[in-house]
Structure 1
């Protein structure tokens, strides 16, 4: 079983990976006008970040629940680490 902090850490990692997968979606590669206000050629005309953050969060929640189900039912076994360990120095 995993603790709540581990579950939250897993969610954060999943959220960032999904964000980078979703960011380029919806960016058309069609013709563009030359930017006149100092903008970059690669900048999208409409970024739609709010929609992308919501989509990222919803997709991450689904993936996170699936990962927790896999861990909970032991479909992928995790190694058992000791709760306390002693450090043995190299001599």
Structure 2
């Protein structure tokens, strides 16, 4: 796996995990017992706590990426193992 490919995979995994983690623990101002600030939507988060969510995203993404890297580097799953991909004959060089 090249460094650029590894970075691209980690980047995609990081964003997917971020969007999965963002809704955890979100409360609106009404749920927190305060009035919403004028100019903001009533559904806006009261305290979004983005820094802890970004740190958690980085840690979880690193774990997921390590699994993906192990699968790719040790060739645990190849494209031939995926049932709906077409089968191609190997070309013999000669």
TM-score range, shorter chain: 0.7 to 0.9
1:86 paired residue number: none
Question: What residue in structure 2 maps to residue 13 of structure 1?
Answer: 12
**Distance in 1 separating the partners of 2:7 and 2:67:** 14
How big is the shift at 1:33? 4.3
Q: CA deviation at 1:5?
A: 0.5
Consecutive unaligned residues of structure 2, counting only runs of 5 or more, are 81-94
Change (3 A) 1:36 1:48: closer
Runs (4+) of structure 1 moved beyond 2 Å?
A: 28-34
For residues 6 and 78 of structure 1, what CA distance do their matches in structure 2 show? 17
Q: TM-score, normalised by structure 2?
A: 0.73
| Residue of structure 2 equivalent to 1:74 | 75
Q: How does 1:1-91 map to 2 (within 5 A)?
A: 2-28=1-27, 31=31, 33-78=34-79
Gaps of 5+ in 1: 80-91
* Number of residue pairs matched by the alignment: 78
The alignment yields a C-alpha RMSD, in angstroms, of 1.9
